[in-house]
């Protein structure tokens, strides 16, 4: 039986914390409504106590979004928790998300608290949050560098205190996939009341492993993935929503899991984020990058034009892109050129196509890509050149005939 993976989107909170990605209230509400169309399970709307603007934005999103849970982040402090509860007051499905660091390096240098003190803070915070909100999530910050035995203890206690979701963050992107998988499996096997809570993970991409770690977590029992659109977030970013969702869908037989994401809204959501922030994704970005469904190499173009499945493991339409893209450049072959000429409604014979191809390759030596208007110009030049040659031949033949007739008359 397949299990559903919940998608917790933190684009508007962790994503917005990355330099250059700040958004105003109107922009965040607009994105939240698009995330609702995408059908994420949870939208983390902000950190209400961090500023008056964030408080008002979380409140505005809570008023607008009806079909997703809306979460507000807070530290394990009563003023933070109360502020989050106030911001989420009108939410159809509110969630208070509270966190505290559990790694020795964070407890010693940042919090300057003992393990016992951190445990007490966590339990008191979850108890208080549970008195204000039915759905409470607890995160053990820097879990991947924490002592697993301490994680088992703190997760057991916060679940007893009312936490419905326990989150295991790879806060600094330190974990390797097999290590992270073992950590999740250890939590599932050693927290006695784990069946009363959802296991969530929140992975960062400092080593480029956020998606791999998230997928390994699913294989080992995680039921919620925290991620962002386009993988934005602190430092190198968060696990990319689009990559996780499409990995599960494309390789479903390997996961035996599914999400309820409307995948056709993936690309529109990605584009809306880039429009709002002015930050484009890199061209080779998986799923949503400009080159994700683009082909220039002749061998690839030939295969894709015969059957897209030769080089595309998902359809562009499945993620909301109209079609793939055949890029005409120096690596393109005759077949792709011929097909593009047909699409432009020109009927050329093989000799004409060959002459266009020779001119095309010369142009490619001078520039990287040939635009459609430039290709049309090449085709027209060959057609016109042939027409001129035909006219010249006809004129020449006519002159020869006239000369012959004149000689005959004489």
The per-residue pLDDT string of the chain (410 residues; one tens digit each, 9 = 90 and over) reads 469 999 999 999 999 999 999 999 999 999 999 999 999 999 999 999 999 999 999 999 999 999 999 999 999 999 999 999 999 999 999 999 999 999 999 999 999 999 999 999 999 999 999 999 999 999 999 999 999 999 999 999 999 999 999 999 999 999 999 999 999 999 999 999 999 999 999 999 999 999 999 999 999 999 999 999 999 999 999 999 999 999 999 999 898 899 999 999 999 999 999 999 999 999 999 999 999 998 877 788 888 888 988 889 999 999 999 988 878 887 887 888 888 888 888 989 888 888 888 888 888 888 878 888 888 988 898 888 866 555 555 545 555 555 545 455 45
Give residue 409's pLDDT: 47
**387-398: burial string, b at 16+ Cβ within 10 Å, e else:** eeeeeeeeeeee
Q: What is the pLDDT of residue 287?
A: 97
Interhelix angle 177-190/210-219, rounded to 10 degrees, is 40
What 8-state DSSP symbol labels residue 228?
B
Q: Which two tokens stand for residue 245?
A: 């969702």
C-alpha distances out from residue 91 to 64, 67, 170, Å: 8, 10, 29
Q: What is the pTM of this model?
A: 0.88
Report pLDDT for 366.
Answer: 81
Q: At what angle do helices 148-161 and 177-190 cross, to 10 degrees?
A: 50
Q: Which domains does the chain have, with CATH numbers?
A: 3-277 (3.20.20.70), 294-382 (1.10.238)
Residue 298 CB-density burial (10 A; 0-12 exposed, 13-18 middle, 19+ buried) = middle
Q: Identify the H or E element spanning 223.
A: none
User: Using CA atoms, how far apart are residues 131 and 125, in angstroms rounded to an integer?
Assistant: 10
HSE-up of residue 367 (Cα within 13 Å, Cβ side): 10
For the purposes of burial, counting CB atoms within 10 Å of the CB of 373, is it exposed (0-12), middle (13-18) or buried (19 or more)? exposed
pLDDT at 323: 87
């Amino acid at each position: 039986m397949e299990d559903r993976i919940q998608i917790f989107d933190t684009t508007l909170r962790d994503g917005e914390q990355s330099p250059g990605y700040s958004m105003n209230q109107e922009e965040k509400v607009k994105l939240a409504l698009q995330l609702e169309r995408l059908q994420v399970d949870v939208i983390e709307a902000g950190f209400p106590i961090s500023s008056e603007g964030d408080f008002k934005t979380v409140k505005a999103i809570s008023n607008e979004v009806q079909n997703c849970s809306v979460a507000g982040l807070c530290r394990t402090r009563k003023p933070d928790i109360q502020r989050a509860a106030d911001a989420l007051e009108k939410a159809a499905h509110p969630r208070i998300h509270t966190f505290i660091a559990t790694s020795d390096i964070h407890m010693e240098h940042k919090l300057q608290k003992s393990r016992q003190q951190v445990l007490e803070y966590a339990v008191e915070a979850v108890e208080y949050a549970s008195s204000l909100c039915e759905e409470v999530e607890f995160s053990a910050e820097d879990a991947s560098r924490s002592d697993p035995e301490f994680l088992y203890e703190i997760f057991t206690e916060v679940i007893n205190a009312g936490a419905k979701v326990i989150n295991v963050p790879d806060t600094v992107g330190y974990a390797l996939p097999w290590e992270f998988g073992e950590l999740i499996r250890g939590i599932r096997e050693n927290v006695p009341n784990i069946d009363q809570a959802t296991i969530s993970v929140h992975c960062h991409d400092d080593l480029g492993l956020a998606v791999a770690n998230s997928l390994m977590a699913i294989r080992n029992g995680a039921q919620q993935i925290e991620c962002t659109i386009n993988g934005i977030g602190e430092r190198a970013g968060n696990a990319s929503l689009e990559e996780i969702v499409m990995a599960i869908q494309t390789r479903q037989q390997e996961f035996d899991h599914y999400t309820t994401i409307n995948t056709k809204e993936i690309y529109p959501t990605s584009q809306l984020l880039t429009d709002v922030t002015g930050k484009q994704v890199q061209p080779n970005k998986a799923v949503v990058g400009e080159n994700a469904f683009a082909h220039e190499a002749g061998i690839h173009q030939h295969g894709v034009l015969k059957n897209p499945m030769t080089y595309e493991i998902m359809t562009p339409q499945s993620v909301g892109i109209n079609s793939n893209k055949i890029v005409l450049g120096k690596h393109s072959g005759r077949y792709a050129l011929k097909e593009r000429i047909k699409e432009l409604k020109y009927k050329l014979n093989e000799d004409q196509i060959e002459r266009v191809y020779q001119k095309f390759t010369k142009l490619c030596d001078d520039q990287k890509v040939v635009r459609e208007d430039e290709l049309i110009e090449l085709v027209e030049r060959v057609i016109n050149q042939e027409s001129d040659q035909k006219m010249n031949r006809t004129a020449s033949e006519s002159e020869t005939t006239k000369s012959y007739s004149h000689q005959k008359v004489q």
